[in-house]
Amino acid sequence: MGAAAGRDPFAEAAAEARRRLVAALDAEGALPDPAWRAAFAEVPRHLFVPSYYVGAFGGYERLSRDDPDPVRRLSWLDGAYEDRPLGTLLRGDDLVSSASQPSLMADMLHALDVRDGDTVLEIGAGSGYNAALLCHRVGDSRVTTVDLDTDITDAARAHLHEAGHHPAVVTGDGALGCPGRAPFDRIIATCAMPSVPAAWLDQCAPDAIVVTPLSTGVLRLRVPDARHAEGRFLHTSAYFVPVRGTTPAAPEPRTGGLPRRALDSDLFRFLLTLASGSLDPYEAYALWQREGRPGRERYGVTVADGRQWAWLDDPEGPYSWTLGGPSDGPIGA
């Protein structure tokens, strides 16, 4: 009787929801590293999304742990552990911060190839959940997370503290990194970038790794020194909240006159966005057809002596496109 009286049905429901999420990620093969599997199994995602928005009837519906309706409160808890992104901050009708899809987070964290003792900089604090996973892996003192807005960093810090983690949470311009905490062995971004900020490379330790969304993919760069970096995209698609502030966004590609079958292809739109401003869209379509409709993993990016270019198959090959110059403006998730 005493044991039953001490049960916490809400905590049990949260633990069961977390087990379901990890089982789903396992089934997808998204958690091959036991260290990251343990992080997803033990870090309570629901603490980082006390309320969130999901698409409903052309707009957004808000779910909250403070909802007086127990059915809606259970929907909030179950939704917090579904493998989907969750909007966490709206300004007007614009979504400006979100909690990323857990399977995509797992892909990016595995690509980061974190080792014991590494220091990690996260650009885009968001809800704080990704920072908590990093803290679980390398320890609180080795994690720094940066975001542009005080309301985002204040909320992330509160969520992290509730979950028992205390990394450095910094309000500032993510494009400038965090020089006071550099150098970093690993840098991971959670907002879509038009190019790779020079300050990130300046703050990398030798042979660091940078993982960042770019176009509609995820780029993994090896950084031997501050003037050079190179790497390829992961195979997966990735749609993140765009960089905000004064950092110029990549130009919108022209699509008029392109075949519908091209515009309906996620892989073609990836190339079109990646090469926007450098490659005529009709030339892009002809190239994509001629090269067998390549997947994201065939593309890469090179940074060398102040230049940045994307390429297909070979950084010195015939197909390459200049990316925008290193970003100098503020970044937020």
100 is an active site residue: yes
pTM: 0.90
Using CB atoms within 10 A of its CB, is residue 256 exposed (0-12), middle (13-18) or buried (19+)? exposed
Question: Which residues are CB-contacts of 200 (< 8 A; sequence separation ≥ 6)?
Answer: 121, 123, 177, 187, 210
Catalytic residue among 97, 100, 276, 320: 100
| Torsion angles phi and psi, residue 167, rounded to 5 | -75, 175
Q: Which amino acid is at 144?
A: T
Q: What is the pLDDT along the chain (333 residues), one digit of tens a residue?
A: 444 555 667 889 999 999 999 999 999 999 999 999 999 999 999 999 999 988 766 678 889 999 999 999 999 999 999 999 998 887 777 777 788 999 999 999 999 999 999 999 999 999 999 999 999 999 999 999 999 999 999 999 999 999 999 999 999 988 899 999 999 999 999 988 889 999 999 999 999 999 999 989 999 999 999 999 999 999 999 988 776 654 555 666 677 778 888 888 999 999 988 988 788 888 989 999 999 999 999 999 999 988 999 999 999 999 999 986 333 333 333
The amino acid that residue 105 corresponds to is M
